[in-house]
């Protein structure tokens, strides 16, 4: 149930897309794969799943070599490629039964998977009649159809609306309880919401591989808050643990605290004591964002 990427290099002609990439993902981990466009995420995912050959190096999936033991390895992988290729003229259920037949999954299990990804109400429709969110679910259902141990998801949440985002993230997190998952995304909050670990790639090289708990432990806490009224800095600085306060508008402040204690309730108390209302409050994990920026620009 693990993924071992050993010394993977990929050349497209003269262009190096991946340079000696190494990492191991253990059973049960959910790993976010972050990196700017063109960093090499899709290329590596195609190599891990056996759709593309590396120029150098090996990949083991659940201890099977993706090149020399391809079928055994692929049996254990569920893959949702970028752009989610689907047969649009097929009906949802028909398409999933077709996938099930390829993997010899019993027909009665297809219904279970349809329910699991929340497709029951759409199962009778043609895929081209579905919204983007539901199409993603069909792609996910197809990736899950053979109960794989390892899931490789290439930007599974791109283009979804906020409600669909939450649902798909929840689904990934649930699947992660039993599976090993590597998924790529551009959204840092997504990594924070779902992952145990983040791997950052830039120009074909791994530039960071971090456990998210560790990353959170030594972080500054940043809260962006908007009040219904102008607030002077001299009042703001009275909030405990405040390290700095910057304002974009006089009603909106970016507050940096030097503590890991959750300071949202203190900001709320401040507003209440000063007769202010909070119109918006967001916590920003500076570490992941600044790590991303510093390592990829």
The footprint of ligand ADP (CB under 6 A) covers 12, 15, 17, 35, 37-43
Alpha carbons 30 and 175: distance in angstroms, whole number: 9
Cβ-based nearer residue to ligand ADP, 104 or 293: 293
Residue for token pair 């999933």: 96
As measured in angstroms, the least distance from the Cβ of 29 to ligand ADP is 20
As measured in angstroms, the least distance from the Cβ of 48 to ligand ADP is 12
Return the structure tokens found at 148. Answer: 């794989």
Alpha carbons 283 and 271: distance in angstroms, whole number: 16
Cβ-based nearer residue to ligand ADP, 35 or 176: 35
Cβ-based nearer residue to ligand ADP, 42 or 180: 42
Cβ-based nearer residue to ligand ADP, 13 or 106: 13
* Helical residues (DSSP H) of the chain, grouped into ranges: 41-48, 70-75, 92-103, 107-116, 132-144, 162-175, 188-194, 212-217, 233-236, 264-273, 286-296
As measured in angstroms, the least distance from the Cβ of 39 to ligand ADP is 4
Cβ-based nearer residue to ligand ADP, 38 or 238: 38
Alpha carbons 190 and 289: distance in angstroms, whole number: 12
As measured in angstroms, the least distance from the Cβ of 158 to ligand ADP is 11
As measured in angstroms, the least distance from the Cβ of 18 to ligand ADP is 8
Return the structure tokens found at 283. Answer: 């916590």
């Amino acid at each position: 149930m693990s993924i071992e990427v050993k010394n993977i290099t990929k050349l497209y002609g003269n262009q190096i897309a991946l340079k000696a990439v190494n990492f191991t993902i253990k059973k049960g981990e959910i790993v976010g794969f972050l990196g700017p466009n063109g960093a090499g995420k899709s290329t590596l995912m195609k190599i891990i799943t056996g759709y593309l050959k590396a120029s150098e190096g090996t990949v083991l999936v659940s201890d099977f070599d993706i090149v020399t033991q391809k079928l055994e390895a692929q049996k254990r992988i569920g893959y949702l490629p970028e752009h989610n290729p689907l047969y649009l003229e097929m009906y949802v259920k028909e398409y999933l039964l077709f996938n099930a037949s390829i993997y010899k999954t019993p027909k009665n299990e297809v219904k279970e998977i349809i329910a699991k990804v929340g497709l029951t109400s759409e199962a009778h429709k043609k895929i081209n009649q579905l919204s983007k969110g539901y199409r993603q679910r069909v792609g996910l259902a197809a990736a899950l159809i053979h109960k794989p141990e390892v899931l490789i998801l290439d930007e599974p949440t791109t283009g979804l609306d906020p409600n669909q985002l939450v649902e798909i993230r929840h689904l990934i997190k649930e699947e992660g309880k039993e599976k090993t998952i590597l998924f790529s995304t551009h959204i840092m909050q997504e990594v924070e919401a779902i992952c145990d670990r983040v791997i950052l790639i830039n120009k074909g090289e791994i530039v960071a591989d971090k456990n998210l708990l560790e990353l959170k432990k030594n972080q500054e806490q940043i809260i962006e808050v908007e009040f219904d009224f102008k607030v002077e800095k001299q009042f703001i600085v009275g909030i405990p643990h405040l390290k700095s306060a910057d304002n974009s508008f006089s009603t909106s402040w970016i507050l940096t605290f030097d503590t890991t204690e959750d300071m949202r309730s203190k900001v709320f108390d401040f507003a209440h004591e000063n007769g202010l209302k909070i119109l918006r409050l967001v916590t920003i994990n500076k570490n992941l964002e600044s790590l991303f920026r510093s390592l990829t620009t």
